[in-house]
A and B are shown apart, each in its own frame.
Chain A
Amino acid sequence: MTSSKTNDRILLAVFSVLVLAGPIILAPFGAGYPDLLQKFAIYGIFAIGFNILFGLTGYLSFGHAAFLGVGSYAAVWMFKLLSMNVIPAIVFAVIVGGLFSLLIGYISLRRSGIYFSILTLAFAQMSYNLAYSVLTPITNGETGLQVTLDDPRILDGGAAGQPFSNLFGLNMIETTEVSILGMAVQFNAGFYVCAAILIGCFYISLRLFRSPFGMMLKAVKSNQNRMSYTGLNTRPYTLAAFVISGMFAGLAGGLLAAMDPLAGAERMQWTASGEVVLMTILGGAGTLLGPVLGAGLIKYFENIFSAINEGVLMDFWSFLPETLQHAVVSVSSLFVGEGWHLTLGLIFMVIVTFLPGGLIEGASRLGRLVTNRGKGENGAARPAPAPAE
């Protein structure tokens, strides 16, 4: 058992290094700018939290975006009323996300399976529809809640000028641009706040997965009947998982607002809830790293593929002869720019068809294949592997 502990330490260390070096690693892929890096980290947190519920207990919530949304609203209200410091905003976002998920979870967890999914979906859609319309005094409706010059901000005193979210004076939009190996690499304060929290969240999730509590959640997924006849009350376990993942979602929402002080109602729409489901399944539900990978993949497509226009394509294919170039550009332009959804849809289909269990499962299968080849026939004698993590 000590070896698995060492493995976990290595996993955490590698994860941390990769996250912290994100700006350098992602720069060659055109994804090394602050906003997208922040989004990677924030949606990583969201998906990690969602995975604690869905990956471990198997309860598929279709309304998790609601907690992200209320987290954002809570954070922006903190910015408006209290201070532009991100700490109270984030803390309040987590609390509100937790309370809201406690309420919805308490009701929805009375049902299981698809009935549970639809209950969560219904609550989230109600939140979204109301936030968009009649709750506008609180949410500022379609436009989204923003900080303005004349907000009270009692802790900040009468600080004049444009308000920026900050951590004790360090503005979240503060960016240092450095050239490394000829690449312009942007180190952004906000990203490192997100990254630190992401690493913390990953560590929490690791602890949960390795804890008796995590085992209980897996047991819920495996056989609820046996749980009850074993003297365990499944409801508080599932509710705890639901609230924890709701708090993660609230945290993610709070961070979104901390990086960019705006909270829009679309964050609560079912498509946003569906997105985190897709992230988790795509990466690998029930695995530690999968959700983060899935979140990264989807956000990358949304931000990078949508920005490729014909000009960029012409440039990319410029090594081809001109006639061929035009043909290739017109074909490939179907998949980028305004066609980025098409690529996303195809990727979903390809990954789920050929890599059942998501990216991580696919990678570990590939890994097993390689090691088995290397070991020859020895591989067959090994004990059955535990679920990939």
Chain B
Amino acid sequence: MDLTTFLIQCLNSVQYGLLLFLVASGLTLIFGIMGVINLAHGSFYMVGAYMAFTLASLTGSFALALLLGLVLAVVFGYLLEWVFFSFLYEREHLQQVLMTYGLILVFEELRSLIVGDDVHGVAVPAWLAGGVPIGHDMSYPVYRLFISAVCLAVALGMYLLLKKTRLGMTIRAGSVNREMVQSLGVNITLLYRLVFAGGVALAVLAGMIAAPVSSVYPGMGAQVLIICFVVVVIGGIGSVKGALVAALLIGFVDTFGKVFWQQAAGALVYLLMAAILLWRPEGLFKPSQS
């Protein structure tokens, strides 16, 4: 493997890591910060991809589809929390597991009813369609660089919101002791609903942004679910910085694993998680260091 290939593989690793962080960002908020074990996260990602497909074909422009999709996602998340989650916070974690599993089945079937079972593609918008030539007469798709940019923006946005603003502080306090924050006069139920809607919006955004690259097909949600939990857990539950570092780590391990150790490539990510959790049973970063 000469240097150019090595550098390209590193770029691939970073890009895949950032994409993983974007896809897992919604879960970092809902599972990491709010402590809700949300198995339906993959379904929200799938909803995002199908929303990008339908809205892009309706409005004809990808950017418009994104905006419209985000608004719909926030409303969708708001209603979802109100109907299905508002009474679950005091319940045992396992009740959330059961509820969100039920949601997976419902969303999968609704998708089949509404949009059907065919495989669809979403065209990359024209101004992002080109490729940047890099070594080995290969070219790097500009759209993937755009995705990485979006990922960094989301990472920075989440980090600043949660660490540097009063709202972020209240959210983090709420996740540690919900009753205390309520007694301080904060309308915690509304705050939780908004944070949940934000988490759903992030998952839908990830689905929409990734759609042109990942394409849109039945069962795509289930495939990203486990890797998102791996990212959040390795990083340390509740830590945004941890999720980013974990996503990049997985990006490198997955990319170079496929090249050097094909035989075990499938198991490498889980080997990594097992190793990290045995070395630091609470993940890489404590929430306080997030």
Pairing of A with B = no
A: residues with CB less than 8 A from B are: none
Contact surface of B with A, Cβ cutoff 8 Å: none
